[in-house]
Amino acid sequence: MSHTPESAESAPVSFRSEVTVELVKHSAADSDVLWAARVSTAGEQSLEELRKDPERSKGLINYLMRDRHGSPFEHNSMTFFISAPIFVFREFMRHRVGWSYNEESGRYRQLEPVFYVPGGSRKLVQQGRPGKYEFVEGTPAQHELTTRAMEDSYRQAYAAYQEMLAAGVAREVARAVLPVGLFSSMYATCNARSLMHFLGLRTQHELAKVPSFPQREIEMVGEQMEAHWAELMPLTYGAFNANGRIAP
């Protein structure tokens, strides 16, 4: 869902409920794992040799995953272009190992007025206690309130930002009024091992041996990255799921 309200003429603010993830560059295949693993016993091998025995290849990847021999899963690279609210990026950048980030600047350019509003399917109400809680549907009144409160607040914040810019205040100062629901964008580069660690923590999945309770919005990013990765490295992806989605 994405819309620009007609009433926001002075500040052309728009609201979005989705995050987007584009795979912009990759060098990632199951054969990268096999090469790296087999160098310890067989030296350099051709792709043809690796293709000769697919069952053996699948078995080796599964063994590496199961016994947590992680380094063969690092010889590959995926670069994603991600568009998501700032609060998602705050969580994302806690993942320090095997990740590189570059995010758009609020110092060098004016930030675009695009803000996050939860979609109709976003569960709004938390029940239980931290570490043992679940989210349930909100009522129509809660959805209406959330949308209205967020949109009003975003409009007001962006109007203040524009007012300061118009008065000559520097972008890096004026941006302080913008909330964490503002959309940002970044390139994030990882390898299969660091992605698996991320997915183990930031997605909920029936095959996960260790359950996690991620915020839904970062999970939405994780799900899209996962779908791209599954296409690039199907054997590795299958072994990750078969072994409880624990990064090796």
Ligand X SMILES: Cc1cc2nc3c(=O)[nH]c(=O)nc-3n(C[C@H](O)[C@H](O)[C@H](O)COP(=O)(O)OP(=O)(O)OC[C@H]3O[C@@H](n4cnc5c(N)ncnc54)[C@H](O)[C@@H]3O)c2cc1C
| Whole-angstrom distance, CA of residue 33 vs CA of residue 226 | 18
The one catalytic residue in 16, 155, 175, 202 is 202
Q: Which stretch binds ligand X (CB under 6 A): 43-51, 90-98, 105-113, 225-233?
A: 90-98
The 138-177 site mask, x for binding ligand X (CB under 6 A), equals ----------------------------------------
The 182-221 site mask, x for binding ligand X (CB under 6 A), equals ---------------x---xx---------xxx-------
Q: Does 96 bind ligand X (CB under 6 A)?
A: yes
Clarify whether 96 is annotated catalytic.
no
Beta bridge partners of 129: 132
Q: Collect all residues with Cβ–Cβ distance below 8 Å to 208 and sequence separation of at least 6.
A: 200, 244, 245
Q: Collect all residues with Cβ–Cβ distance below 8 Å to 129 and sequence separation of at least 6.
A: none
Give least dist CB 103 to ligand X, A.
17
Q: For residue 176, what are its two tokens?
A: 């302080």
Q: Which residue is nearest to ligand X (CB)?
A: 96
Q: Provide the b/e sequence for 7-18 (b: ≥16 CB within 10 Å).
A: ebeebebbbbbe
